[in-house]
Chains A and B, each alone.
Chain A
Amino acid sequence: MTTLCIAFVIYSATVYTTGTAATSASPMSAEARHGQELFQDKNCIACHQFYGLGGYMGPDLTNVISKRGEAYSGAFIAAGTVSMPNFNLDTDEVSALVAYLAFVDQTGTYPPEEYKIEWNGNVSQVDDPR
């Protein structure tokens, strides 16, 4: 039991540090931070996902900026659609959200586009930023 608990502590510390260290991504700007707060205040995650994690009513947003562009995403957020609510955000708030989505976008690719499936069932991702 003690061994297991010590292993857990060491393991957790590794996960918190080198296991999840930023690689190429640039640091979060103040505007993106504001966008992150808005994203949480409006609970966008109830309908959307990052890296496939979240609610399933709307599409994954990990790479929406590189796939659809900032203008498109901003317009979507500002106006909503039948199935996505209009949050009545002002232009600063919309651009903060877009900045946050752009911050997320550069952290990786989801779903992976270039990958190899290995014999043992593992997946090695060529487009993994690591």
Chain B
Amino acid sequence: MAKQIEVAGLDAYYGAHKAIEDITMTIEPRTVTAFIGPSGCGKSTFLRTLNRMHEVVPGARVEGKVRLEDQDLYGPDVDPVSVRRTIGMVFQRPNPFPTMSIYDNVAAGLRLNGRFSRSELDGIVESSLKGANLWNEVKDRLNKPGSGLSGGQQQRLCIARAIAVRPQVLLMDEPCSALDPISTLAIEDLISSLKQDYTIVIVTHNMQQAARVSDKTAFFNLAGQGQPGKLIEMDDTSRIFTNPGQKATEDYITGRFG
């Protein structure tokens, strides 16, 4: 189920502004890869190029290659909608659909994409909520609006919604930045358990979090104001945090800048 992602020579633009430049990396299946780097260096932008969400922004475009196993995601006849179905995403701010109940939120991706019988849906909703560690908290109020949950619960609801469509890769953009330490721990535990089945990429500003949950870490940086962001280095997390190859990485991790 989990698949490898290979990126080669990738540039991303917002109109004329080049946000990231020449990124080449391999993201391994069944591992957690963390993206770290100072604000504005293009972590979110890069993450969004991986499931073709980047081009949703008016005027935005991508150059270079992204391959999921043997498929070119930016090939001429690839449907971006099917790419997004294969590579799920969780956003920084929890964004449950306000008009839908908890149940409908989790079922949304399935319902909006095809026909499922009620019992199939029930099964998937339950297993997804269990997968997101939320089932016990909401099983008695599945028909209540999703916006009535706490922030941490909403974020786990969004994770449940993302895994309900059975993606092969899960991209998470600072999924814990709006959450308290307990919800953060719940989500970190969740990430560790989801690792068995998914390829996971997580953007985080929290060094301890990167060190705790990830197997690989990629450090991004900007050469200067207005310059595009670049991948400085990528390695095993333990190595990045103990013995990084680049001076800039060490400075960033030890808090000397950024």
A and B: bona fide binding partners = no
